[in-house]
Amino acid sequence: MRFWKNLSIWALGFLLTFHSCKEKDEQFPAVTIAQPSNGTTYQVYDTVRVSYSASDENELVSVIAQLLNQNQIPIGAQAIADLNGNFNSGTLELPITDKLTASGTYYVLVKAFDGTNEQRKFVQIYINALPKKRRAIYVASYNENDAQLWKIDSLFQVAEMWRSAGQDVLKLQVNSLDDKLSVAGRFSTRLATYQLASRTVLWEDQTFPVSQTERFLDLFGFENTLYTSLYDREVRAYSNNGALVMNRPTGDHRPETIYADATFLLVEMNLVGDNRHFIYVYNRATQALLWQTELPMDIVAICPLQQDEVLVFGNANGQSRVFHFDMRENSYWEPRQLPTGVVLTATKMNGLQFAISHSNGIYAYTYSPNYLNLIKAGNVYQDVCFDVDNGTLVAANGSMLEQLTINGQPIGALSLSDSIVSVDIHYTR
């Protein structure tokens, strides 16, 4: 009796094990990609149309397509197929919508899942970045009552009063990555960011309860972070949505000119009650102070030179000067003497070329070989910026906005109603 009982138990166990093995799905779905073919080239804003087929011996639970970068990180939303049974074929669309997508190799992924097993197939494609084109030039002009924000069209032909700022303006900054414009006032307590398309205020910060003396001393944008230096001895940074992400008191030093890149944050510091100026170097990500050094001049502009190095322009005792500053080594030297007079501002052009707005006019300075040339004499330009799309200079002379070649030849000019205080360019990216 015991024998037959044990035999029954053994047989039942065998049947259960056999059934379990039989039900286990070890076969992966089959996936093929008919289009696009390997090496197909697309432009930003194109749509990648993926023709595929997928099948499984039992059933398909999901089929999706997605674009991946070289690190296998998705760069857009996935497209999901409608399923019916164990076979599916068709076309899924993957639009390239991010205007900041860089040129390079990417992958089309089609992935099929049967509830247990997942099959992936890849096709390599190439995406060309959106060309960096000038969309408009934005200008702040100011009279004793209010600042006006102007929009100059991409052809430098039409000046349109974009809107009233409702405050004075020290400086404006255009964020082409996110199509925004920010303004800060010299005496106004308000920092405001506008959406360019709607002209509406996205966020603002009333940093002080009342206007008493100078408020903001500089405004600098890097990627989607906005940096400000405050007269009340404080450095602030704001995120893309206006959140305060840095709030650093600076003690007995007043922060003035600001510069940032992917690694470092540079802040000129003026010792209050003295005429000594320093550069403080921070780690941009952690905001930790790395080091500082005294620089024998009042800084008016900091321009990128090459990796971890900048050119610092300023004035000492009424004389213009330029220093080569190595941010990582915390050292500087003077690559050349500048002409008698003062520097108002400076901007980087192509390569190792810079435009210097000077009391003599505009100089073009080539760092290597070390060459300085007065390209526009006779006028004092309070602001100048370089248009990387057209390879031209946009310069403000009083209430006149001029477009010049890099050799100083005039291309066009527009007259505004009031004196111009700040100029910046809006690009496609």
Q: Is 154 within 8 Å of 405 (Cβ atoms)?
A: no
Is the pLDDT at 210 greater than 80, yes or no?
A: no
Q: In what order do the strands lie in the sheet with 319-326?
A: 298-306, 309-316, 319-326, 331-333
Relative to beta strand 47-55, strand 62-68 is unpaired
> Cβ contacts of residue 152 below 8 Å, gap of 6+?
136, 137, 138, 139, 158, 159, 160, 401, 414
pLDDT in tens, 28-43: 999 999 999 999 999 9
Q: In what order do the strands lie in the sheet with 264-271?
A: 253-260, 264-271, 277-283, 289-295
CA end-to-end span of the chain: 86
pLDDT recorded at residue 22:
45
Relative to beta strand 180-184, strand 190-195 is antiparallel
| Complete domains list, the chain, with CATH | 30-128 (2.60.40.2550), 134-427 (2.130.10.10)
Considering only residues 281 and 187, tell me which one the structure prediction assigns the higher pLDDT: 281
Give the residue from 39, 58, 108 showing the smallest Cα distance to 79: 108
Whether a cis peptide bond, with omega within 30° of 0, leads into 296 is no
Q: What is the mean pLDDT of residues 6-30?
A: 58
**Dist. CA 385–CA 424, nearest whole Å:** 7
Q: Is the dihedral of CA 415, 416, 418, 421 positive or negative?
A: negative
Q: Where are the beta strands (DSSP E) in 215-328?
A: 216-222, 225-230, 234-238, 244-249, 253-260, 264-271, 277-283, 289-295, 298-306, 309-316, 319-326
pTM for this predicted structure: 0.82
Q: Is 203 within 8 Å of 190 (Cβ atoms)?
A: no
Q: What is the mean pLDDT of residues 387-408?
A: 96
**Dist. CA 230–CA 214, nearest whole Å:** 8
How far apart, in Å, are the Cα atoms of 347 and each of 199, 276, 291, 304, 311? 27, 24, 25, 9, 10
Q: Report the DSSP beta bridge partners of residue 391.
A: none
391 — alpha (psi -120 to 50), left (phi > 0) or beta? left
**Dist. CA 230–CA 241, nearest whole Å:** 20
In this structure, the dihedral spanned by the alpha carbons of residues 231, 234, 235 and 236, taken in order and rounded to 10 degrees, is -100
Query: Hey, what long-range contacts does 6-14 have (CB within 8 A, 24 or more apart)?
Result: none
**Dist. CA 354–CA 77, nearest whole Å:** 41
Q: Is 76 within 8 Å of 68 (Cβ atoms)?
A: no
pLDDT in tens, 137-179: 999 998 877 899 999 999 999 999 999 998 889 999 999 999 9
Burial annotation 359-384 (CB, 10 A radius, 16+ → b, else e): ebbbbbbebeeeeeeebbeeeebbbb
Mean predicted lDDT score pLDDT of the chain: 91
pLDDT band of residue 388 (cuts 50, 70, 90) is: very high
